[in-house]
Structure 1
Amino acid sequence: MKVLYYTLTLLLLASCSTARMTDTWTNKEYTNYQPKKVLIVGLTENLTARQIFEEQLKNELADRGIVAVESYTVFKPSFTNLKQTQEAIEQEISRVSKQGFDAILISAVKGVDEKETYSGDRYRTDYYWRRFGRYYYLHQDVYLVEGYYNKYKVYHIEASLYNLKEDSDKSLVWVASYNIVDPKQISTTVTNYVTAIIKSLEQEELIRKK
């Protein structure tokens, strides 16, 4: 029963795919800074996830009085489908700046870790296994139960806010890192991630609260 309980708990936590912030930094030179028109960029090969992310973040920013636009409606397919030179990227930035954008909020996956846990009774804090027989009894399922070990992934994602009105050395306004554990459903995962970003931006007073 305990094995089943802990297994169900692990699955519940994974299905929630909560985005947990692990690190953040804000440029102190941007006191009282709040963007007015933001280009949202979801840097991912998963086009569905990109569209959902950009649309949800756009809606959240709009609810706070900020004009926000999805990059998939601004960038030409040729820009995202092909590797661009730094010069070409700077030209694209100049183009969107002329359209009135004063900031870019970009999100990208920085890495993925493969993790492994097991569904055994590993949460005991007493020392019932001081005797070999007890220890073996508690852990023998590794031989007998298929799926005894559970593999999952942890995605390390970074979100950054850049001021397009400043030169490149001072344009980074805010950056935060998040961990997302074993995402299952795109919509739920993106919703939790967008919520975490909005909460971070509100805490840093880069956007007003709803």
Structure 2
Amino acid sequence: MKLFYYIVALLLLTSCSTARMTDTWVNKEYTNYQPKKVLIVGLTDNLIARKMFEEQLKTELINRGIDAVESYDVFKPTFTSLKQTEEDIEKEVKRISNQGFDAILISAVKGIDEKVSYSGDTYRRDYYWRRFGRYYYLVQDVYLIEGYYNEYEIYHIEASLYNLKENNDKSLVWVASYDIVDPKRINTTVTNYVTAIIKSLEEKRLINENYMP
């Protein structure tokens, strides 16, 4: 029985690893705005995750009638591997704008929180038991089961869409914040995150829900 509760707790923790949007904002000045050619930027030192993110988001945008390109096909390797000045960044923005890009969608990890979960919470949240014996039977797992407390991480990620045709404080079109709990598998995590971004962009009518070529 104790093993059963422990397995259930781990499954519940794993099931929370999808991307959950915590906040979003859209510029009201961009009514009926939809980008035509988007540069996708995954700002992370994990090259595998970056490549997967940019490729998956590119596919989703293309399926909705938007020309999308991965940043690693546009930026020079030194641009993302070295710290750039604001002047260097502006020069690069001008260069890609001259290539026909009218928007940039960038994603970046804003922070990571380390957490500790208590496995017993999943079945002790409601206090149905009123006898000491029943209570002790449940809580004894705390010191009898190794790893009863589980350490995990929450990634705080932000995605933003910028209009390259507006080189001012009004260039931000849309921004959303997401929490990803204890990502284990890169492929699953990226897919869930891309799905969440697409859903938000569709809800804000910044991209088409069902594109018919």
Q: TM-score range by the shorter chain?
A: over 0.9
User: For residues 195 and 87 of structure 2, what CA distance do their matches in structure 1 show?
Assistant: 34
Work out whether residues 109 and 156 of structure 1, in 8 Å CA contact, stay in contact via their aligned partners in 2: yes
* Deviation at residue 40 of structure 1 after TM alignment: 0.1
User: For residues 52 and 95 of structure 1, what CA distance do their matches in structure 2 show?
Assistant: 25
Q: What is the identity, as a one-letter code, of the residue corresponding to 2:21?
A: M
Task: Kindly report which structure 2 residues correspond to 1:5-20, keeping only aligned pairs within 5 A, or say none.
Answer: 5=5, 7-11=7-11, 13-14=13-14, 17-20=17-20
Structure 1 residue 153 and structure 2 residue 153: aligned?
Answer: yes
Greater Cα offset, 43-52 or 12-21: 12-21
Identity of aligned residues (%): 76
How many residue pairs align between the two structures? 209
TM-score (ref. length: structure 1): 0.92
Greater Cα offset, 143-152 or 30-39: 143-152
User: For residues 67 and 13 of structure 1, what CA distance do their matches in structure 2 show?
Assistant: 37
User: For residues 120 and 23 of structure 2, what CA distance do their matches in structure 1 show?
Assistant: 32
Q: Cα deviations across residues 147-185 of structure 1 (Å, max 9, x unaligned)?
A: 111111111110000000002211000000111111111
* Deviation at residue 142 of structure 1 after TM alignment: 2.0
Work out whether residues 39 and 103 of structure 1, in 8 Å CA contact, stay in contact via their aligned partners in 2: yes
Match of 1:57 in 2: 57
User: For residues 122 and 20 of structure 2, what CA distance do their matches in structure 1 show?
Assistant: 24
Q: What is the identity, as a one-letter code, of the residue corresponding to 2:50?
A: R
Work out whether residues 64 and 208 of structure 1, in 8 Å CA contact, stay in contact via their aligned partners in 2: yes
Match of 1:87 in 2: 87
Work out whether residues 16 and 189 of structure 1, in 8 Å CA contact, stay in contact via their aligned partners in 2: no
Q: What is the identity, as a one-letter code, of the residue corresponding to 1:112?
A: I
Runs (5+) with no aligned partner, structure 1 = none
Pairwise CA RMSD: 1.8
SS in 2 for 1:175: strand
User: For residues 48 and 118 of structure 2, what CA distance do their matches in structure 1 show?
Assistant: 32
Match of 1:128 in 2: 129
Match of 1:104 in 2: 104
Work out whether residues 40 and 58 of structure 1, in 8 Å CA contact, stay in contact via their aligned partners in 2: yes
Greater Cα offset, 120-129 or 28-37: 120-129
User: For residues 203 and 142 of structure 2, what CA distance do their matches in structure 1 show?
Assistant: 46
Runs (5+) with no aligned partner, structure 2 = none
* Deviation at residue 2 of structure 1 after TM alignment: 6.1
* Deviation at residue 81 of structure 1 after TM alignment: 1.2
Q: What is the identity, as a one-letter code, of the residue corresponding to 2:140?
A: Q
SS in 2 for 1:110: strand
Match of 2:32 in 1: 32
* Deviation at residue 194 of structure 1 after TM alignment: 0.4
Q: Cα deviations across residues 113-160 of structure 1 (Å, max 9, x unaligned)?
A: 1111122265331253564x5544322222221111111111111000
* Deviation at residue 7 of structure 1 after TM alignment: 3.1
Q: Cα deviations across residues 2-34 of structure 1 (Å, max 9, x unaligned)?
A: 652453353355266211111000000001000
TM-score (ref. length: structure 2): 0.91
